[in-house]
Amino acid sequence: MKKKSNSQQLMLLIVVLSILAVVLVYMFVYKDFQNRAAAKRSSNQELQQKVDQLKEYYENQNDYIEKIAELKAEIKDSMKQFSTLAIEEDIMMQAHNSMTSADKLVYTAASIVAPEVIYTVPAELFAPVKFSDDENDKFNSKQAMLFVNRKASYVAQNDYPSLKVMIKDVLDRPYKTMITNVLFEKNKEYNNLQGTLEVAMFYVPVYGEEYVPVKMNDYDKGLEKLFKLVEEKEETEEE
């Protein structure tokens, strides 16, 4: 009877040890295998995604190259509306051009403020881009693209047709210019309009169109008759 009891205890111990062995195998072998398999599947999925992405790039590379070329051309074309500079002489000649087109337009003051950088495209964005094989291409300069604003104002006396000429001449300026404020009121004493026209002249150093300095050598200097031609002055003196 005692031998039978020992045999049963032995069998129970074997069963318990077997269960414990299965649990240990599951926890330290099978579970670890599952974790590694899951990690491998995840890694394979990531690699497959990269492979699919590279495959898409390869299959569409001609389209990408064409699109990049179009974007480069658009950037270059958009820069044609900007000069590389705007200075005091520009607003003086702008005033002179308007006065030669409008009989009743008289400027009493003109001013321009210091340059203000309103937006910057970092140089880092240009560094990896090659716009052309031309070493002298300004778009290969790898410099930051600065959008600069110079605000100017004109104080004038005119009539309504002359005011329209004044505005038109500003808007006809070959480079990016914006009228920011127009404030004129009627002067009953002189029966004309008096007021201020404010403009913003934008330019982009390096990447804009090459700045062409205005020539003011033909104009007299001083506070009186600021825009009077020297030739006209000499003819008057000879008479």
Q: Is there a domain that residue 110 lies in?
A: yes
Is the pLDDT at 3 greater than 90? The verdict is: no
Average pLDDT, the chain: 80
Q: Is there a domain that residue 225 lies in?
A: yes
Q: Where are the alpha helices (DSSP H) in the chain?
A: 2-25, 31-59, 61-78, 88-101, 123-126, 160-171, 230-238
Distance CA 141, CA 186 (A): 52
Considering 10-19, 46-55, 180-189, the range whose residues carry the highest mean pLDDT is 180-189
Distance CA 191, CA 154 (A): 20
pLDDT interval class at 13 (50, 70, 90): low
- At residue 113, φ and ψ (nearest 5 deg) are -95, 170
Tell me: do 129 and 234 sit in the same domain: yes
pLDDT attached to residue 237 = 45
Angle between helices 88-101 and 160-171 (to 10 degrees): 140
Tell me: do 118 and 213 sit in the same domain: yes
Cα Dmax for the chain: 154
CB 113 within 8 A of CB 150: yes
Q: Is there a domain that residue 68 lies in?
A: no
Percent of the chain with pLDDT over 90: 32
Q: Is there a domain that residue 10 lies in?
A: yes
Tell me: do 204 and 98 sit in the same domain: yes
Tell me: do 54 and 87 sit in the same domain: no
Tell me: do 96 and 35 sit in the same domain: no
For the chain, the domain total comes to 2
b/e code 70-88 from CB counts within 10 Å (16+ = b) = eeeeeeeeebeebbbbbbe
In this prediction, residues 83-101 reach a mean pLDDT of 86
Residue type, 144: A
